[in-house]
Amino acid sequence: MRVTWVTDDHKAPSTVEYGMSPGQYNAVARGENTSYTFFFYSSGKIHHVKIGPLKPGTTYYYRCGGCGPEFSFKTPPSTFPIEFVVVGDLGQTEWTKSTLAHVESKDYDVFLLPGDLSYADFQQPLWDSFGRLVEPTASRRPWMVTEGNHEVEMIPIIYPHGFKAYNARWLMPYEESGSESNLYYSFDAAGGSIHIIMLGSYTEFDSDSAQYKWLKQDLAKIDRKMTPWVIVLLHAPWYNTNTAHQGEGESMRKAMEELLYGARVDIVFAGHVHAYERFTRIYNNKADSCGPVYVTIGDGGNREGLAMSYKNPRSPLSMFREASFGHGRLRVLNHTHAHWSWHRNNETDSVIADEVWLDSLSASSTCMGQQPSSLRDEL
């Protein structure tokens, strides 16, 4: 586990003390730190400390920097079942608070966020307020995120590469997964039974790009006998019947869809569109029982509001769509079955508005038995 926190005190040590009983820390880890400036803003000291090895399914108590409050988190299990919460386009509004309250009302193991975190949009103090807002949730369970368009914060000549705040604050395990960029990476869950790939919609993705080459290599390493589930997250959806952001993921889809289809990816989660939509299994704009299920879940609570308008008549590929704030839960029960549910934020309760049982493609002899001829050489 990597623990990240920010201190105003630039002399504060980058240390984490931890143990399995409150107030009793029998281990200590030292890590690294960074900081950044953005025009007249100077960040606090941003600490990143890796702790472990840790036991699965275990609560650990920890303290950062040798003083301050005690936090606790629970490590994910190393076996099935395991439950993921999926929330995109979170922001920091009253809607956001409602979403996080609904998330916390029921236990889960890992939080997945397909881009658009703070909506700071160049106003750097909003990165700090976002950290304070999510701390009660993000200090208790692993948060695995990828970037959205609101993380870019690029200014030609001055900050030409963008992502200055995001990369400094939200360090993901890209080096551990062989990636050259914090904007795309992968990791395993449930003892290697689930492989999760976080792609970058806002960095190069064509067939000559570093991301494409990394993705190809990452997919080639997966043994579906050992890893029956493969899940992908990205920000701009490849399939979308909402009138908002139409076609914005199309160039990435054309570049990478064949790779995901050939690897028999089970599910692709996206954000960006501020609504919820679930598609059937698709490949190349057609229903395909060996393609991924596509889900748009950009309804976490951002300040821009909901995307209320949909294209009509509805595409037969779209199984369910609704413009409401909420969150999703993917409970993977075993090697073959998972349950997906979308929970609408009603006033006091989190209501299941959509749900579906999913079969892993690794269990399909039809899908695993043959791949399209164009992919055999590639993979």
Positions marked catalytic? 245
Q: Which of 164, 134, 132, 153 is nearest to 34 (CA)?
A: 164
Pairing type for strands 59-64 and 70-74 reads: antiparallel
Number of H helices, E strands in the chain: 7, 23
